[in-house]
């Protein structure tokens, strides 16, 4: 409670309106009943489809990596899917369509409905640093449906990294047909490194993301239902 009080007045109408998009009317109505829509349906759906696709991409990707490792280690077989290189490649090249199509829908939605603008902006390095140091001191405040500066930076960042992941993947898949793209990545071998590093960054994001949900468990249910109670929570 004390932590929430340290932040700005999060219940002001201005803040609530930042949810943006189609959720707004429902919010105004729902506010009276103490429930508001914090995550639009499109965001929830694309999020969980992305989880599914990314899970397949990463675990099959690890198996593909194992066929010709860049480093002196291989991923444990039990953490991979596909059974062998050919199987893993089948999973990888099937799930890539889900990942890319779902990602395009999400980005188009974010731009057209101004979801990105309403939820990820404004964003300044100063505010990110401020929130980050606060978080390190254990002062994590969380208003459901309102992202703090660190979250905004992380979400924008991971979207960028996934774009890089897809582009480097295309460069590896088609180093001749898309040789300009491959050259941007430092050629075929360079693209493999970019692809691996981008994967590692996504995995790191997921680890932190899931850890934060574990720290603030009440954020989990709204990611399924979209709704959160506007009363009875602080901290």
Q: Which positions lie near other proteins, rule CB under 8 A?
A: 52, 55-56, 59, 64-65, 67-68, 78-91, 93-94, 97, 174-177, 179, 188-189, 192
Distance CA(205)–CA(86), nearest Å, equals 28
Nearest approach in angstroms of CB 93 to other proteins is 5
CA end-to-end span of the chain, whole Å? 5
Considering the complex, state which of residue 65 and residue 106 has its C-beta at the smaller distance from other proteins: 65
Nearest distance, CB of residue 94 and other proteins, angstroms: 4
How many Cα atoms within 13 Å fall on the side-chain side of residue 214?
A: 6
Identify which of residues 172 and 228 has a Cβ nearer to other proteins in the complex. Answer: 172
The pair of structure tokens assigned to 217 is: 């468990």
Q: What residues contact 35, with CB distance under 8 A and at least 6 apart? A: 227, 228, 229, 230
Shortest distance (Å) from residue 176 CB to other proteins:
4
Cβ 205 to other proteins, closest distance in Å?
19
Structure tokens, 119: 């939820």
**Closest to other proteins by CB, 85 or 118:** 85
Measured from the CB atom, the residue of 93 and 129 that comes closer to other proteins is 93
Using CA atoms, how far residue 143 sits from 140, 193, 233, in Å, is: 10, 38, 9
């Amino acid at each position: 409670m004390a932590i929430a009080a340290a932040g700005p007045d999060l219940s002001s109408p201005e803040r609530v309106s930042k949810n943006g998009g189609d959720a707004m009317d429902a919010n105004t109505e729902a506010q009276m009943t103490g429930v508001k829509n914090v995550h639009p349906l499109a965001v929830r759906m694309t999020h969980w489809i992305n989880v599914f696709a990314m899970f397949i991409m990463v675990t099959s990707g690890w198996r593909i990596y194992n066929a010709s490792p860049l480093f002196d280690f291989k991923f444990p077989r039990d953490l991979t899917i596909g059974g062998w290189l050919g199987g893993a490649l089948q999973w990888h090249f099937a799930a890539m369509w889900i990942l890319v199509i779902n990602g395009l829908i999400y980005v188009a939605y974010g731009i057209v409905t101004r979801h990105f603008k309403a939820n990820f902006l404004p964003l300044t390095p100063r505010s990110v640093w401020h929130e980050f140091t606060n978080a390190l001191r254990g002062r994590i405040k969380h208003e459901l449906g309102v992202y703090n500066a660190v979250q905004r930076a992380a979400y924008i960042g991971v979207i960028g990294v996934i774009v890089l992941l897809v582009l480097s993947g295309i460069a590896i898949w088609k180093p001749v047909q898309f040789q300009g793209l491959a050259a941007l990545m430092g050629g075929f071998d360079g693209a493999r490194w970019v692809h691996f590093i981008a994967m590692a960054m996504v995995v790191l994001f997921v680890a932190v993301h899931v850890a934060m949900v574990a720290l603030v468990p009440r954020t989990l249910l709204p990611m399924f239902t979209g709704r959160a109670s506007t009363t009875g929570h602080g901290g």
